[in-house]
Each structure stands twice: as C-alpha cells, then as structure tokens.
Structure 1
Amino acid sequence: MTGSHTWQTIPEMVLSAADRFGDSEAVVDGPLRLTFTELTHRIRCAAGAFAEWGIVKGDRVAVWAPNSAEWIIAAFGAMTAGAILVPVNTRFTAEEAADVVSRSGARVVLVQRGFLERDFDAAVPTIDLKSDVLTSGVPFARDPSQWLRADDVSDVIYTSGTTGKPKGAMMSHGQTLRMYEEWATLADLREGDRYLMINPYFHTFGLKAGLVASFLRGATMLPVAVFDVDAVVNLIAAERITMLPGPPTVYHSLLAVPDKTMLATLRAGVTGAADIPVELVKRIHDELPFQTLMTGYGLTEAGNVTLSRPGDSFADVATTAGLPCADVDVRIADDGEVLVRGYGVMLGYLDDPAATAEAIDAEGWLHTGDLGAFTESGRLRIVGRKKDMYIVGGFNVYPAEVEGVLSEHPQIAQAAVVGTPDARLGQVGKAFVVLRSGADGPSADDIISWSRRRMAGFKVPRSVQFLDELPTNATGKVVKDRLR
C-alpha cells in the first residue's frame, strides 16, 4: 500500500482509509471499537457539524483534551471541513491553555469536561468532545481534493519559546504526508499493527507519528489518556499490541514488569526525546520481545530531522539520533548549533514574522537551538542545548519561561533554573533562588507548591537551592555552567 498514492492533503488520505482498509479495526478505546469505514463516517459527520457551525477553510479549531477516539474524530473532522488544527497541551494550566487558544485565533475549542479539575474558560465557544455534538452533523460531502491543497496549512502546534510565550509552528498537509510516510517505513509500521498510543496527540509525535502514520498504513489505534503501567500491561496482553513508541520512561516501566509473557506480542518500538544509556537499549532487546527499536531527532518546527535505520547497532540507537531523513539537510554551525533545511521545515510561526525570521535564516536554515555533532558514520549526536533547554519525561522545558514565573513571586529577587539528571524522567528542573532582602523567606516546598499553581507540572522545579547571589559574568549574565 505504500508509496503508490498521490494524496495532496491529510483529509484525502484519512477518508481513503475506508476504501483501503474497510472493515479492519481502526480504533479501540475502552468499550468503543470502530472499523475504518465507521471511523471515516464519524469524521465526515464531525466535518459536517463544523461546517454547520460556520467553520470555513483556514479557520482554526483548537482541541484541549487527552487521547481518545473522540479526539481523533474531532481533529480530522476539523481538517476535513478545511480548518487548521490547533492541538493544545493538556499539561498546560487553564491560563496557559487560554492564552494559546486566544493567540491562535481559534473560532472554537473542544475540551473534555471533567478531565481537569477546573473547566476551561475561553472567550470562544467551547464544545465537549464527549458529547454527541460531533456525530450529529450531516456527513460532509465535499471531496477534499477539489478544494484543499498540499501547501495549505494543516496544523499549528505550539512550542514553548525560549522567551517564555509558546509559539505556533505552521505545517502543511503535503509536508506531513511525505514526512510520516518515511517515518512509517523506517519504524516498520505495518497494516494490521496494533498501535498503543501513549504519546499525547497534542504533540507532533502523537498526532503525526501516531495518528497520521496509522491512517497511512492501516494500523489499529489504541489511545491511552493517562499512562498507568499496570493498565498498559493489561492492554498490551488483552489487545495483542505490536507497536509501542514512547519516551525511555515507558521502556523502563516495561523492563520492571514481573510477567514478561504479558508483553509477548510487542514487535516495534520507537523512542527519542532523551539520551538513552546503551545498556537500556541492550536490555530492551534482550529482555523485551521488540524486534525493532527506532530512535530519532526532531522538533516541532521541522518534524523528523534524523532517524535511525533498521539494523543499526545498540550503540548507534542509544548514543545517536540516526541519519538525516530524505531530502533534509543537516549541518553543524561553527558554534555547534544544529541547523536544518529542507521540505520539512515549518512555514513559519503563526502571526509572528519576527520570531520566524529569528528561527529561519535568509538561506532557509532553521536554527534549532540544539548543539550537535556528526559521528564518523554520519549519524547525528545531540550533545546539549544552546539555550539550556532540558527535557522532562519527553517535554521540552525552557528555563527562561520558568524563571519568568518564579520572578513574579513576591519574595524572590532572582531565579535561575537548570536541568539536572533524573533516573525516571531523564531530567528535572532545579531552581537557584535569591530572596529579596528582608524577606521572611518561603521554604523550598513553599516555592514548589506556589509554582504548581502557576505552570504545567513538567515545568515545576523539583528542587530549590537558596543562594546569596547568582554567579554572573562580566556582562551580568548568569553563568549556568557554574550552577550545574
């Protein structure tokens, strides 16, 4: 089924799954089971509902909800109606999410009522994803190929910017289809695979390497809303899961499972987003049934940049991010920064030409902010982060954003945040804090709980150290290497 199709857009490809895979199982979500024929019908109904609400080509539709069958129906229904999808990180606080929805210009936002402690207060109409509103529409009849184009924007995914505010990276239908066709091939995703989806759909990995790739190949999608190792192990056994991507934490959890026979059906894994010890990769191969384990390097602004290849050694998979993808140029700048150019680079940041110009230079090179080097075999190794970003359990954290929030604390004069190693999450944040003079200081626990109310959990520093002053250089910039 691969490579012979010339779809221009994601909805065209998704709707064609009814013809290609028909009565094969498309989605399993708790008691709900849908074939590809049934799923595409529901997507057409959702598109019809969006059209009835007045959504037209180019309008933006936001989704702020955990992985579910309804998320899939809403997202591809919106795209089928011509809308641009804006997935919103479920780990954001309501305030952070409202900010993204507002700046995206979304006409409507879909949420899952009761998923988070408090409901989302948006200035635009809010629809409950789990209500029957989406399936009540008259099936959308327009053929996407007649009025949507490959270079139309398909989605805007927000990344936390180093200056604090998340920025929305715009990607097109054509970019996505081409990129995840290659991903599906290298990840060994096959028709009939049963794909357990732990990676959140609001992330490029979940939305594209997950959903888009599954529609391309005819894999059964099994959304997981919240990772719980016991529930996941039972699901792997009961549903005969074959495909299980995730951050290294997921594989750590599986290695600790007492009864490995529960995992016998697993064939293909994909990891990334953190350094992986060679020993962990060797253990995955020795103690778990995976036949293939792929890794790679990518970012919201460019999708997949490098991917490992079938047959790569344990050491290659563990210590490098693989080889550049087809028609993607990667080079290392004089200061060690990884630069990327090619069809996969974003069309720009939504409504932010200044930030776009800062990220993509006149020659079309995207400046990733990551530091890297090539091995003798031409594989990319990511060695650090130019702007001190760190990754907590697969989520990027930018110290500048966290420091900005901490500086709002009435008793904090200065704060600097760095990533420190953590056995479970890869890295976690540590805050160095200088209190205002005369302040009857808060404790470390006070600052951490204060932070929890103001930012997503993965951004909250796990430890706080009080200093009399932060180390600075001649120009007054904090020297983070000394803090580390």
Structure 2
Amino acid sequence: MVVTQTLGPAVSLAATLAEAAVRFGDAPAVVRWDDEPLGYAGWWQQALAVARWMARRGVSEGDRVALILPSGLEYLVAYAAASALGAVTAGVNPSLAPAERAALVELVDPVLVVSDPTLTDGLPADRNVELVTPCEPGRAPWAAQLEADRCAFQGGGVAGPPPLDGAPQPLPGRAAALVFTSGTTGLPKAARFTEGALSAVAALDLGAIAHRWGGGGPMFVSTQFAHVGLMTKLPWYLRTGTRLHLVNRWRADDVLELVARERMGVIGAVAPQVALMLRSAQMDALDLSAVNLLIVGGAASPTPLVREARERFAAGYTIRYSSTETGGCGLATPPWPEHPGDDRTIGRPRPGIEASIRDDDGAEVPDDSLGELWIRTPSAMSGYWEAPEATAVALSDGWVRTGDLAVREPATPERPGRYRLAGRRGDMYIRGGYNVFPAEVEAVLADHPAVAQVAVVPRVDEVMGEVGVAVVVPRPGLAAPTLESLRRHGEALIARYKLPEAMIMLEALPLGTTGKVDRRLLIELGGRPDRREGSGA
C-alpha cells in the first residue's frame, strides 16, 4: 500500500491558476520566444474554455489526457484545462520517435489525445485524437479550435456538459500528472503524482515562503514541458507570480541574450547547457550581472565546470540530484563551497528529505560503504501507472530506490555527511539530462544489415556529460557500416539523443569469464579514442 504524504493543503494547477488570475490579473505569466504573451487572467479563461471543450469529448474527473505538443502556450492551457476537470495529464515528449510516442499513449490509455498535427505519426487509428496548432501572434491559444468547436456544437443542438466556472477542490490523493520515465530497465513507465505531491514539491522548493503569493521574477524553461521539472513545479511558479519565458530551441547565445535582457537572477539548467553557455562569445559581450545563482541538475557537473561557472557568472552554483520518481526533489550542494570537496559530491538531502545507502536486501550500510541510494520525500510519486510489480521494486515503505550507487561520507564536527555518486545500477548513462539505456539502442542497431554484433557504452563528454559509443563487429562479406549509416538506421525508431555519437570497430566483442560480453572492458575502450574509431565519413 502506498501512503500519500503531503506538506500542507493539497494544491492543483487549476486552483492555483484561478487564484493567480485574481491576484495578478493581466500580468504576463508566460512569454513565448516570439514575444507573444499570455497573462494570468487570460490563461485561466482559456483553460476554462478548453476544459469545456474537453468535457464535450468525454473527459471527466480521473480520466487521462495525453498531450503530444511542443513546449508552448497550447500545452500550458491544456494542462490547466485538464486540471480544471480533475483529469490527469500525461505529457509525451515530442522529440521521441513516432513508435515511442505511440507506445506511451498506449501505456496510459487516455480518453483524449491532444496532438500537434505534425506529431500524429504512429498513433493508432482508434484513438480519440484532437489536433491543435500553435497560435499566431495576437491570437489567444486554442482560439481557432474553440471557434470551430463552438460553431459545430451550437449548430448540432446537442446538450453539452454543465457550465464550468472554477476548479474542483484539490484532494491529496487525486492524481494530477503522469510523468514518463524509463526507470532502470529501459521499459516505459509513467510516474503518478497526486495533488498532495504537488503541494509537497512547492513546500520543499520554496521553504518558509511556500504559502505566500508573489515575489517571483523572470525565468526561462530549460526542459521539455513533459519533464518532471515543469509538470510538478508549475503550480508554485504560478503562486510566486513568476514570468516564464519559453525557448523555441535551446541555443546558448539566445538564452544568454534572454537572461541579460530580462535581468534574470536564477539560471536553471543541466551541466551540458552550462558548458555551452561558457563557450559562447556572449558570455563576455553581455551584462549578466543580475545572475546570482545557477541551479544545475539532470547530469553530473564536473568540478572544473563548477569553478569556471562561479567565476565567470560571479554567482553561486548548486548541484541538484533527484529523479523523476522523487518529483524532482532530492539532494543539493551549497551554492558556494562550505567545506573542501563539496563540489565533488551531490551534497546532502534538502530540508524535509531523507537519504540512505542500502545493500541489496534493503539494509543500511556503514558510512564509506558502497550501496544503492534511497530517498524518502513527500514529493515522491505514488507509484507507476498500472505497474504494481515495478512500483513494488521502486518504492519500499515510503522510500524511493533510485538505482544509483553512492557512498555516504562520515559526518564530522567540521563537515556534515555528504553523498558521492559512484555509478549506476545497470548500464544506463545520461546524455544532456536524458537517460539512455544501451540495451534499447543495441536492439535497434543490431538490425542494421552490416552489423554482426553491437554494444553501446558511454564516454565522458565535456558538453553533454556522457555520449554513446557504438562498438561494432561488422558482418563478414559486407561493407563495414559507418556511424552516419547507424544513426540513419536508428533515428526512425528511437529518439536522436539516444543514438551513438562515435563508433569503434572490433573483430569480436570481448567476453568475460562467464562467457558474457565484458562491458567493463568495452567502457574502457570506448573512453579511449584510437585509430579504430570511425567518424561516419
């Protein structure tokens, strides 16, 4: 049985937006990359209209609504609309391949799928799919769809759902969002977050000011909207009156110009994005003096990168460790080093969160011993959607088993006990904040006609954190594959970020004493480029 924890009253996106609309009125809540604004009051009115539109298509409390939309105004309005009905939003990352998107839709079995017209490939014909296109400058989101629907609905003379004037009262145990995560097996799963968890996220992130209104400033969104970083945190963004600036396509130059122009005080990013910003000529050309803090998660932060970022931004840099299953809340390092070696760790649990290092049987291990990192936080998921066995593996008596190996340093009077990551269970690696599972990639590349055997291993990369290296045994009698041909073969089946970015040719894959492929040796080979590496030329 999963126990729902909460910190304070439950919150919902719709109820928070309704109150924010009253408090902040027409103040811009969101500004699109082309400077198209969406005010708080306008957002709420649009959400109510789209909620009525959804209700006419059969959506009611507890139903799932899948969004296959770019990270734009339409997505935000739809998420709030579903919340106004008490429905559950499942965001599908549009950068996934068509087959992957279709699999996630099938997993959550939504009553309604809302999709951009360019993202419908692969969706089953029997799905209830409605299309929405991005609004033009000067027009409200969903205006074209709502106008067409209004004419059809009124002309048909069919009784519609009862009028909708507000949002249902938030409930701690009611599901609010499904956030997809591959977990440690590579199989798609959907982490279920309740309105109680959304309340906990706000309390953990905001601390003593969690129940105040206002005080927020401009910030940009650095992840896809389907990511846990927006799905669970959006309510508190609204509560603080934050002005969200959307980025059409993440480019270091453009982001730095936005940060300088809007005088942003906080930059949220993953380490590869910070590395790209530091390489940009705009770093020295722009006035970035308003920046006082970088909050960096999603991938490891090399210590030299942390030092350079602090120096050049003249700002604090905190490394954040969390997972989708913990609701994006977990451990953190101090913005400025308080003890030697702080930046070589993932810090300590944030207030209100616990961490523990456990062995394979779930028993705590002594300090300085390797084990699996477990986290207990009220922001955690209540379980995976329709996956009780996977839930039982991931959750244990309120603890989230992260699948990451770590060590807890002994606490001393001079230094608190900190946690150091030591690797990951399985072979998963993180490229630019995205989890990549070699087995999934290998299964796709193995179908290449010129490949006899293939293994994918990670290599450390200064920008992306880690990238994939394909170790290939070519099929006899055929021309050896190139990196370009491997990527071309795979991009129709899996997302491009999962594809390898280097290739090594071997006559045979090395085997260990058990007869299995020696992945440790392959990782060593993959980390040392040599003359056997192919560039795809």
TM-score, structure 1 as length reference = 0.89
**How far off its partner does 1:34 sit?**
2.7
Q: Deviations 1:105-129 (Å, cap 9, x if unpaired)?
A: 0222223344x6x856444213215
Which residue is 2:158 aligned to? none
Which residue is 2:455 aligned to? 416
Q: Return closer, same or farther for 1:127/1:184 CA change in 2, 3 Å cut-off.
A: farther
Which residue is 2:14 aligned to? 11
Q: Return closer, same or farther for 1:230/1:311 CA change in 2, 3 Å cut-off.
A: closer
Q: Are 2:496 and 1:457 aligned?
A: yes
Which residue is 2:143 aligned to? 132
The residue matched to 1:245 in structure 2 has which SS? strand
**How far off its partner does 1:82 sit?**
1.4
**How far off its partner does 1:157 sit?**
1.1
Q: Deviations 1:406-457 (Å, cap 9, x if unpaired)?
A: 2233443332211101111111001112344555442333223212232111
How many percent of aligned residue pairs carry the same amino acid? 29
Which residue is 2:432 aligned to? 393
**How far off its partner does 1:287 sit?**
1.6
Which residue is 1:51 aligned to? 55
Which residue is 1:295 aligned to? 319
Q: Return closer, same or farther for 1:470/1:213 CA change in 2, 3 Å cut-off.
A: farther
Q: Are 2:45 and 1:20 aligned?
A: no
Q: Are 2:190 and 1:168 aligned?
A: yes
The residue matched to 1:287 in structure 2 has which SS? helix
Pairs within 5 Å for 1:360-379: 360-361=395-396, 363-375=397-409, 376=411, 377-379=416-418
**1:151 counterpart letter in structure 2:** G
The residue matched to 2:114 in structure 1 has which SS? strand
Q: Are 2:394 and 1:359 aligned?
A: yes
**How far off its partner does 1:7 sit?**
4.0
**How far off its partner does 1:258 sit?**
4.7
8 Å CA contact 2:487, 2:499 repeated in 1: yes
87, 90, 97: which is aligned to 2:91? 87
Q: Are 2:520 and 1:481 aligned?
A: yes
CA distance in 2, matches of 1:229, 1:342: 33
Q: Return closer, same or farther for 1:208/1:12 CA change in 2, 3 Å cut-off.
A: same
Which residue is 1:345 aligned to? 380
**2:246 counterpart letter in structure 1:** P
Q: Return closer, same or farther for 1:129/1:6 CA change in 2, 3 Å cut-off.
A: farther
The residue matched to 2:266 in structure 1 has which SS? coil
8 Å CA contact 2:190, 2:384 repeated in 1: yes
CA distance in 1, matches of 2:246, 2:83: 20
TM-score, structure 2 as length reference = 0.81
CA distance in 1, matches of 2:303, 2:163: 51
Which residue is 1:329 aligned to? 354
Q: Return closer, same or farther for 1:57/1:4 CA change in 2, 3 Å cut-off.
A: closer
Q: Return closer, same or farther for 1:431/1:172 CA change in 2, 3 Å cut-off.
A: same
Pairs within 5 Å for 1:68-79: 68-79=72-83
Greater mean alpha carbon deviation, residues 396-405 or residues 350-359? 350-359
Q: Deviations 1:324-358 (Å, cap 9, x if unpaired)?
A: 13443321123521122343332221122222223
* Aligned-CA RMSD value: 2.9
CA distance in 2, matches of 1:312, 1:109: 47
196, 220, 226: which is aligned to 1:196? 220
8 Å CA contact 1:162, 1:399 repeated in 2: no
CA distance in 2, matches of 1:165, 1:440: 33
**How far off its partner does 1:6 sit?**
3.1
Which residue is 1:264 aligned to? 289
Gaps of 5+ in 1: none
CA distance in 1, matches of 2:8, 2:75: 26
**1:349 counterpart letter in structure 2:** Y
CA distance in 1, matches of 2:24, 2:289: 26
The residue matched to 2:386 in structure 1 has which SS? coil
Which residue is 1:207 aligned to? 231
CA distance in 1, matches of 2:130, 2:338: 49
8 Å CA contact 2:430, 2:436 repeated in 1: yes
**How far off its partner does 1:186 sit?**
9.6
The residue matched to 1:42 in structure 2 has which SS? helix
The residue matched to 1:57 in structure 2 has which SS? coil
Gaps of 5+ in 2: 1-5, 135-141, 151-161, 360-369, 524-537
CA distance in 2, matches of 1:132, 1:139: 19
Q: Deviations 1:147-173 (Å, cap 9, x if unpaired)?
A: x51111111111124433311111111
8 Å CA contact 1:471, 1:483 repeated in 2: yes
Which residue is 1:219 aligned to? 242
**How far off its partner does 1:310 sit?**
5.5
Which residue is 2:179 aligned to? 157
8 Å CA contact 2:446, 2:453 repeated in 1: yes
